[in-house]
Structure 1
Amino acid sequence: MAEPVFAEPLHPGPASAISLEAVSKTYAGGVRALDDVSLEVPSGAFVAVVGPSGSGKSTLMHCAAGLDVPTTGSVRIEGVEVSGLGETRRTELRRERIGFVFQAYNLIPSLSVADNITLPLRLAGKTPGPGWLRELVSRVGLPERLDARPAELSGGQQQRVAIARALIARPAVVFADEPTGALDLRTARTVLALLRSLVTELGQTVVMVTHDPAAAAYADTALVMADGRVVEQVGSPTAPAVANRLVALEEG
């Protein structure tokens, strides 16, 4: 089957996909998970967020994606201020502009591959554009498995279904939280190469939280976190460079 051709980026939009300005998050008991974080994720960029356990990686993703509300500061998704929105509007914004890929695939066992992929659109009362589903499943390498159930797929295939589901609504940003954590090394590389191709070939914006320096090496930039702050931005990261930085943080 010929490789699908995408004439335009998945989601052409503003130059900045995500902006955080002076964002802090304090939980009950005074635990400060984020401490005055400001950053900007350009559209069409692949950004990895790395750091020791408890450094604030997941909290950063949750706030940037509108899953959680910062205690102070501003979060914008394609220029839309998220922080002040009510839960209903934030849910709608996530459905329209954000895709999610998690370590657990979160597929519905009783649904086919096709129905799992299109579920976000159907929940929003929409249907995929002509040919979009076919092109998408070709991109993730599952054109012959549309009728299969998740239990009939390998872990890597299930994660590729999850990636297609994250893309079906043509989101502004895909957030991937440890997307290869449950996969073997070879399968993980296949999934990471797929995420890389979405950025390079389709102009998709991807923000990936990972503990794995080898995974971070697929990104354009690695944001290194410690104690709720972004302490370094590593351009064109390599696995050794990221690993050395993480070791230094653990020892320091």
Structure 2
Amino acid sequence: MRPVRAWGHEKTVRLVPVRDPGSGTGRQAPAVELAAVSKTYPGQVRALDEVTLTVDRGTFLAVMGPSGSGKSTLMHCAAGIDTPTGGRAFIDGTEIGALSETRRTELRRRSVGFVFQSYNLVPSLSVEDNIMLPLRLAGRAPDKEWIRGLVDRVGMSGRLAHRPSELSGGQQQRVAIARALAARPAVVFADEPTGALDLRTGREVLALLRDLVDGLGQTVVMVTHDPAAAARADRAVVMADGRIVDTLVKPTAAELATCVTRLETE
């Protein structure tokens, strides 16, 4: 437990895991599952070519590949932002393609968190209001104890009244991470989360994502071009021409850099 100063008072908060893999009577479904997913855009541009991928709960997956390899399309289809033209995609055991657009939006609000390179905070809102915004849009009452503990864990308990313009880039990304976790989602998708940060600050954000996986059992899927960032993951998949061409477990930055360089020169 750790003391938390938030909303003008001090309270001791214990953050329980986002998901308990052992809870319930049966095995939980993976956080994310793709089964032979393809995506073809107008003009017969095939961005994904029958990709099959399982992301277990409480794990950190990195997705790498040269420009145009399909990594962003994979994330969009896996997160329910885009619709596959073939195959099946599941979030938290629910098949995305079987849902109406309204139900898909509800699923994303309930089970998916997003962290973007550009933070995407609302400039006119305070840190506290930015973190609470997804819950308010979904019409859900916040779990204030969870939020207090989360704010403390990302190191922003003393900045709740600040506006984004009063924060550094690293602080803004920490707020974005807290916002992504506010609804206790099954999975957080991070799209180049360190791309706009300096090296030291980027390392701090990556360490925070790693801590959320190890300490809270959060599932994280991170798209990145940076081998050093991907090396923080439990597993990395490398893409080329819309396919997964390599999978590395506990990868090193050198292994990942060699793999991507080989693909870029082939």
The bucket for the TM-score relative to the shorter chain is: over 0.9
Among 114, 123, 128, the alignment partner of 2:128 is 114
Kindly state the Cα deviation for residue 10 of structure 1 after the two structures are TM-superposed.
1.1
Contact persistence 1:107–1:116 (CA under 8 A)? yes
Give the aligned partner of residue 229 of structure 1.
Answer: 243
Alignment-derived partner of residue 10 in structure 1: 18
SS at match of 2:68: coil
Q: Displacement, 1:6?
A: 4.0
In the TM superposition, what whole-angstrom CA distance separates every residue of 1:178-220 from its partner, at most 9, and x where no partner exists? 0000000000000000000000111000000000000001000
2:24 match? none
Is residue 6–residue 202 contact of structure 1 (8 Å, CA) maintained in 2? no
1:250 is aligned to 2:258: no
Cα distance between partner residues in 2 of 1:27 and 1:239: 33
Is the Cα contact below 8 Å between 1:118 and 1:127 reproduced in 2? no
Distance 1:6 1:82 in 2: 33
Structure 1 partner of 2:110: 96
Q: What is the SS of the residue equivalent to 2:125?
A: coil
1:47-67 deviations in Å (ceiling 9; x for gaps): 000000000000000000000
1:87 is matched with 101
**With structure 2 as the length reference, what TM-score do the two structures score?**
0.92
CA distance, structure 2, for counterparts of residue 6 and residue 204 of structure 1: 15
SS in 2 for 1:83: helix
Report the AA paired with residue 64 of structure 1: A
Distance 1:69 1:58 in 2: 13
Q: CA RMSD in A?
A: 1.3
The 5 A counterparts of 1:46-61 are 46-61=60-75
5+ long unaligned stretches in structure 2: 5-11, 22-27
What is the aligned residue count?
252
Aligned to 2:155: 141
| Aligned-partner Cα distance in 1 for 2:183–2:45 | 35
Q: Post-superposition shift, 1:134?
A: 1.2
Matched, 1:200 2:214: yes
Moved more, 185-194 or 81-90: 81-90
Query: Are 2:51 and 1:37 equivalent residues in the alignment?
Result: yes
By how many angstroms is 1:79 displaced?
1.3
Aligned residue in 2 for 1:160: 174
Output the CA distance in 2 between the equivalents of 1:202 and 1:31: 39
Q: CA deviation at 1:86?
A: 1.6
Q: CA 1:246–1:5 in structure 2 vs 1: closer, same or farther (change >3 Å)?
A: farther
2: CA distance between counterparts of 1:220 and 1:32?
Answer: 29
Normalised to the residue count of structure 1, the TM-score between the two structures is 0.97
Equivalent residues of 1:167, 1:174 under 8 A apart: yes
Whether the aligned pair in 1 keeps the contact of 2:13 and 2:148 (CA below 8 Å) is no
Residue 132 of structure 1, CA deviation: 1.8
Which one-letter code corresponds to 1:8 in the other structure? V
Q: How far apart are the structure 1 equivalents of 2:239 and 2:122?
A: 34
What is the Cα deviation at residue 133 of structure 1? Answer: 1.8
Separation of aligned partners in 2, 1:130 and 1:65: 26
Give distance in 2, aligned partners of 1:231 and 1:247: 13
Report the Cα distance in structure 1 between the residues aligned to 2:13 and 2:252, rounded to whole angstroms.
30
- Which residue among 64, 67, 89 is the counterpart of 2:78? 64
* Secondary structure of residue in 1 paired with 2:31: strand
What's the CA shift for 1:7?
Answer: 5.5
Identity of aligned residues (%): 67
Separation of aligned partners in 2, 1:11 and 1:90: 21
The alignment partner of 1:137 has SS state of helix
| CA shift for structure 1 position 127 | 2.4
Following TM superposition, by how much is the alpha carbon of 1:5 offset from its aligned partner in structure 2, in angstroms?
5.9
Q: Distance in 2 between matches of 1:132 and 1:205?
A: 17
Q: Is the 8 A contact 2:15 2:149 kept in 1?
A: no
Distance 1:7 1:199 in 2: 13
Hey, what's the Cα distance between the residues in 2 that align with 1:142 and 1:78? 29
